[in-house]
Amino acid sequence: MTLQTDDLLTVQDVNVGFGEFVALDGAHLRIARGGITGIVGPNGAGKSTLFNVLGGQQAHQGGRVIFDGRDITRLSVHRRAQAGLTRTFQISRELGALTVLENLLLAAADQPGEKLWHALLNSSASRRCEEQAMVHAQSLLERVGLWRLAHDRADSLSGGQKKLLELCRALMLKPRLVLLDEPAAGVNPVLVGEIAQFIRSLQADGMSFAIVEHNMDMIAALCDPVYVLAQGSVLTHGSFAEVAANAQVVEAYLGGVQ
């Protein structure tokens, strides 16, 4: 696979095995700068495993991950986040006993380098960082309509609101690329529309996305290109209309229905 200058991230020939089971088998992917790339495929196809590889949560055998021209294959989760690559999880990871606002502030402070700087900086500079995080958190919560719930416990939110919180937590790190693992799962259709609109507005701000999703309305509305993963490999990619019309894709989905 050749590198193109408008690629923000490329994955080349990545393999992941769990014992004998092959979860990713020579997976490859290209995420365009400024774009929203979709990743679909039947349950168990390896989509979340692929995001785990990109986010640095999952070791892999062979292959490379290039982010903005830099080989990040061996970088830790934190170093990837510092480089501008963050993600959300299929199961939201909010801290339920903390407030919505505290969840965001913690996401900003939860970087190892951050703590060291705070220890080294004088208290007024440290306070300034906290104030900036507070301003950022408030503006994000206002944008997604959660500011009025800022002081509520995170576990009191609905499923859809938790998805928005999860996205805002990732945004606290001011990423350039955000990987969203099923942002619409379990979310009511009105809120799905709001999440989609928020992603579009972030794209207009210059952010890039990759979205794993079973909600084909969301994929069709937001994503181009769309990659189809089946049994750990990329089956095909193209516009939503192209992949939806592909007989192999239909077969892969039907094969997943036992």
Outline where DSSP puts E strands in the chain: 7-18, 21-32, 36-40, 64-67, 70-71, 85-87, 177-181, 208-212, 226-230, 233-238
Binds 120: which of ligand ATP, Mg ion, none (CB < 5-8 Å by kind): none
Binds 103: which of ligand ATP, Mg ion, none (CB < 5-8 Å by kind): none
Binds 80: which of ligand ATP, Mg ion, none (CB < 5-8 Å by kind): none
- Which lies closer to ligand ATP via its Cβ, residue 94 or residue 213? 213
CB of 185 to ligand ATP, least distance (A): 9
25 near 233, Cβ under 8 Å?
A: yes
**Residues found near Mg ion in the complex (CB under 5 A):** 47-48, 90
CB of 256 to Mg ion, least distance (A): 13
- Which lies closer to ligand ATP via its Cβ, residue 16 or residue 207? 16
- Which lies closer to ligand ATP via its Cβ, residue 47 or residue 162? 47
**Residues found near ligand ATP in the complex (CB under 6 A):** 18, 21, 23, 41, 43-49, 90
Query: Is the previous residue joined to 112 through a cis bond, with omega within 30 degrees of 0?
Result: no
Give the list of residues 6+ apart from residue 42 with CB closer than 8 angstroms, or none.
230, 252, 253, 255, 256
